[in-house]
Structure 1
Amino acid sequence: MAAIQRVLVLNQRRRRPRSRLVHVNIFILQNLSPFDILPDMAILQKCRLPRQLIMELLDLLRPALARLTRRNFALSPEVQLLAALRFFATGSFIEVVGEGYGLSKTSVWRCVHTVTNALLRHAGDYIRLPATRQEVQEVHQGCHAIAGIPRVLGLVDGTLIPIADPSVIDQAYISRKGYAAINVQVIVDHRGVISDLVARWPGSTHDSFVWANSAVGEQAEREGFGQSLFLGDSGYPLRTYLFTPLTNPQTRAERAYNVAHVHTRSVVECRGIPGSSTRHNMSCEHITDNLII
């Protein structure tokens, strides 16, 4: 008897028609590309990337995002990528992101999961320190052009990435700002391009500890970067390969060094997007200790 009731319930579920809203959303997603609807400025503000870069990223990830299914209403790679980029850019609730594209919470979660895994498979091809002599020389010249400090290979900074508080959390994740986070170490070049990323330490971990236990820090300690050096703030230890600002400059030369150090490191500390709203388009004089990635 129970089996018969189960069959009847399943048949009722099969007969249940889709809501009109679902059909409208699917028609929009299948016939209107968000790239055709949104202007360049709207795409930049919503996804934090210009249209051209998103198209290049789409070409790279399309094979991994294509749904190999004959079922109706499969999401296109374009919609999956834009939904994930919107979530990455805002950090908003998945439901809020889904409302902008007519997607359910489950669909947005799948988009974020799929796009994230696809990006990770290509991360090593793009997130890397300069390796060839030409690449090293290009970064040296680019950093030197900012404020005159020679032989700089990377600009180091730590940023706190908030995480959702679970019901029981290790106090090690509570950062100095009072919320649960991961302390992420970022190294960028003169263009702001990330060349190294360490994202495995709790929020209470000191920046100097993260550096000492990173692959780049260990390689630098073994003089693996030759005459190249890195620039870090006062939270990092002073080394022959890691320059930090002077805590109490006395001479004119020491003050000039600090000014040059601040201007060069502003690349990693400044936040904002060219062409975005005034709230986000902050100049390098308004330096924060957060980095949008």
Structure 2
Amino acid sequence: MPKRLLEQLVQVLGPKVAKSNTKFRKAVRADEFMPEVIDAIIRYLGLAYLKWPSATEMEKLTRKFERKTELPNIQGAIDCTFVKVRVPQREADCYFNRKWYVSLVLQAVTDSDGVFLDISCSLPGSVIEKRVLRRSRFYEKVQSGANLSEPVLTINDGFRLSPYILGDAGYVLHSWIMMLIALNLSYTAAERLFIERQIRGGICVECAFRILKARWRILVVGTSSDIS
């Protein structure tokens, strides 16, 4: 982490997690203990920086997606990745993922620039993508109409197109998820063009995961903390 960013975090979070000195020992500074600091980041900064866009912000977001893909009304790209963790004491088998190491599943929705709009990271590595989605806060918000409900565009001789996100074959088709299609030589030129446009949008979340893991190597090598 850059020193400047660390200093900013300590300045904002220090008062929230600060300990008091005692007669016997001097208090540990905010930048010297991790679990409390991470909890404070989630509690006090999470909603400020990780939130679903407002209507005005979403209008700009969908325009950027359309410039990238030439497809209208895309509001995000969704995917999952694995976050390596220490083997838990209970139900360890559930945490082995398909790549044969112990992990949690991180689900994320990003915009066309790879900025995270929503995340969920609490389920063990063996849980498949479609089940991670159904058990996430994001799914609840979509079902309640809080997310992916507006605007509805009228295109192609009156067809009404609701907002949607792009997701790979690990997801189940919904009215609000357009599943990415693998390229195949049997497709026509027009079909291949459409699929290529899909892929340009869907790859945004994959790039976001790569940047995240390059910046925070602990997500790759694993944490020594007890996740239970």
Shorter-chain TM-score tier: 0.7 to 0.9
Aligned match of 2:77 in 128, 151, 155? 155
The aligned counterpart of 2:173 is: 238
Aligned match of 2:12 in 54, 60, 63? 60
The residue correspondences of 1:4-19 to structure 2 (distance < 5 A) are: none
Say if 1:160 and 1:184, in contact at 8 Å, map to a contact too: yes
Identity across matched positions, percent: 24
Aligned-pair CA distance for 1:168: 5.3
Please report the TM-score for the alignment, with normalisation by the length of structure 1: 0.59
Label 1:126 to 1:204 Cα distance change in 2 as closer, same or farther (>3 A). Answer: same
Detail structure 1 runs of 4+ shifted over 6 Å in the superposition.
none
CA distance in 1, matches of 2:92, 2:190: 46
The residue correspondences of 1:166-205 to structure 2 (distance < 5 A) are: 166=88, 169-205=91-127
The aligned counterpart of 1:255 is: 192
Say if 1:127 and 1:196, in contact at 8 Å, map to a contact too: yes
CA distance in 2, matches of 1:219, 1:197: 13
State the one-letter code of the partner of 2:36: T
CA deviation profile, 1:200-243 (whole Å, cap 9, x unmatched) = 22211110111123232244345552222111111112222111
Please report the TM-score for the alignment, with normalisation by the length of structure 2: 0.73
Say if 2:168 and 2:181, in contact at 8 Å, map to a contact too: no
Label 1:222 to 1:68 Cα distance change in 2 as closer, same or farther (>3 A). Answer: closer
The residue correspondences of 1:19-168 to structure 2 (distance < 5 A) are: 47=1, 50-69=2-21, 74-77=27-30, 79-80=31-32, 111-122=33-44, 123-130=46-53, 132-166=54-88
Name the larger-Rg structure: 1
CA distance in 1, matches of 2:104, 2:116: 18
Find the residue that maps to 1:179 and give its secondary structure: coil
Structure 1: which 5+ residue stretches go unaligned? Answer: 1-46, 81-110, 274-279, 282-289
Find the residue that maps to 1:265 and give its secondary structure: helix
CA deviation profile, 1:158-186 (whole Å, cap 9, x unmatched) = 11112212455442221111112111211
**Structure whose residues are more often strand by fraction:** 2
The aligned counterpart of 2:206 is: 269
Deviates more, 1:165-174 or 1:134-143: 165-174
Label 1:231 to 1:163 Cα distance change in 2 as closer, same or farther (>3 A). Answer: same
Say if 2:80 and 2:106, in contact at 8 Å, map to a contact too: yes
Structure having greater relative contact order (Cα 8 Å, sep ≥ 6): 2
Count of paired positions: 196
CA distance in 2, matches of 1:158, 1:70: 45
Structure 2: which 5+ residue stretches go unaligned? Answer: 150-161, 221-228
